[in-house]
Amino acid sequence: MSLDDLDTIDHCILEILQKEGRLSNQELAERVALSPAPCLRRVRALEKAGVIRRYAALLDPRKVGLGMMSFITVKLEKQGKMPAEAFAKAVRTWPEVVSCYSMTGETDYFLRIFVEDLDHYTRFLMDRLLKQVGVVDVKSNIVLEAIKDTTALPLDQVAPERRR
C-alpha cells in the first residue's frame, strides 16, 4: 500500500485513530460513514501494510514519576563504524532514552530522555552517556515547559482532497 492507494476515508480513519486509538470499530465506522465490516477491513489493511505500526497508551510522565525531560545531542569520534554501532547498541538498552535519532550536521545523535529528577539525570549522564566509548561531546537542554507535544502526523499535508 502506497500513499496513492490511500483514499479520503483511509485518511479520515488514520486521523481519528491517531487521536482516539481506543475507539471501537463500531464508533470508528460511524465517524467515517461506513458500516462496521468495511471499516474493519480498511483498518486491517492499513495495519497489514504497516501504515498503522502499533497502538499504545500515552502516559503522563509526571504522573508516573518522570518529571524531567531533556534533549541531548551527542558527537562521536570519527573512527569508522565501531563507535556508532556500539553507541546505537548501548542506547537501545537505556530505559531513560525514549527516542534517539542519527543526525546530519554537527551532531551525530539526538536523544530525548525522561528521568525522575536532577540526581537521576546526573547519574544517567555521568554513569552511562559520558562513559560510552567514542563519545567526545554532549550538549544537554532541559525542558522547562512543553508548548506542543503530539504523536499525530499532519496527514492533511499529504492529502490535498482533505484540505479545507
**pLDDT per residue as tens digits for the range 110-158:** 999 999 999 999 999 999 999 999 999 999 999 999 999 999 999 887 7
- Asked whether residue 161 is assigned to any structural domain, the reply reads no
Cα(117)–Cα(106) distance, integer angstroms: 29
- Asked whether residue 71 is assigned to any structural domain, the reply reads yes
Range of the domain at 43: 3-57
Element (H, E) at 69: strand 68-76
**CATH number of 125's domain:** 3.30.70.920
Q: Model confidence over 62-103: pLDDT tens digits?
A: 999 999 999 999 999 987 778 899 999 999 999 999 999 999
Cα 74 versus chain centre, distance: 19
pTM: predicted TM-score of the whole model, two decimal places: 0.84
Tally of structural domains, the chain: 2
And the C-alpha cell for 66? 518522570
